[in-house]
Amino acid sequence: MAINTSRLDRLISDLCQINRKKVRLILAQKRVYVDGVLAIDIAQIVDQFSYVVMDDEVLQENQPHYIMLNKPIGVVCATKDEKHKTVIDLLAGHFVQEIRDSLHIVGRLDLNTSGLVLLTNDSRWSERLTSPEHKVSKCYQVTLENPLTAEYIDAFAQGMYFPFENITTKPAILHIVSSFEAQVSLTEGRYHQIKRMFGRFRNPVIGLHRHSIGQLSLDESLKCGESRVLSVTEVDNIGN
């Protein structure tokens, strides 16, 4: 998801349908404020959430939205789907269409994976959470068909080579909870990553549930399919 930034003169030109020469004049006449501060620099970088006022008229006031959802198995992490219910469909009745239409999914889960899914219209925030450089951990509870052994721990920590993408997975932490259950923590999200990693041991994953992303855990009061808005503290602290 591209980050929505623009030069101030371009934004005003687009919003007001006037040419950039006129915008330059308007800025020089000190008629524009961005986030409450006088703006005179044509090259000032603004984004989709910058609050832009010209001559006391609000030109742009988009609000960021941050939502957590407890995704059930059988619901697809997509905005539209012909066959399955989508995570966006689950928000109907709780969030107006204008908000639902603005959202994207922060790190998808497979159709048969349940648990914590985040949705937002703030691409800067979602990029920070999903890019491997930021090393934000995503923690999963995994149920396996066959018993686990201690050798899995090393293999996950060392990383596995995926020839299709020609990458080696980043170090992952595997904690054995019981013979058939593990907690896995990843800092990236490759296609079917957990299933493929256990696949190296010919051990099929029969249950997969994401319970946290960074500092944020799935709210236990949310039933399957339910969602809620994140608090300001949750939004700010998740990646720390």
Residues that bind ligand URA (CB under 6 A): 109-110, 113, 192-195, 208
Nearer to ligand URA, 59 or 105 (CB): 105
List the structure tokens of 190. Answer: 């490759």
CB of 193 to ligand URA, least distance (A): 4
Nearer to ligand URA, 59 or 174 (CB): 174
CB of 124 to ligand URA, least distance (A): 23
Q: How far apart are CA 170 and CA 189, in angstroms?
A: 10
H or E stretch including 207?
strand 205-213
Which one of 14, 47, 89, 110 is the catalytic residue?
A: 110
**Which alpha helices (H) appear in the chain, and where do they start and end?**
8-16, 20-28, 97-102, 123-130, 151-158, 193-199, 232-237
CB of 40 to ligand URA, least distance (A): 48
Beta bridge mates, 71? 115
Task: Give one DSSP letter per residue of 34-55, joined into a string.
Answer: ETTEE---TT-EEETT--EEET
List the structure tokens of 123. Answer: 């691409």
Three-state DSSP state, 104: strand
Q: Which of 162, 205, 161 has the alpha carbon at shortest distance from 184?
A: 205
Q: How far apart are CA 219 and CA 198, in angstroms?
A: 27
Is 56 labeled as catalytic in the residue annotation? no
CB of 72 to ligand URA, least distance (A): 13
Active site residues: 110
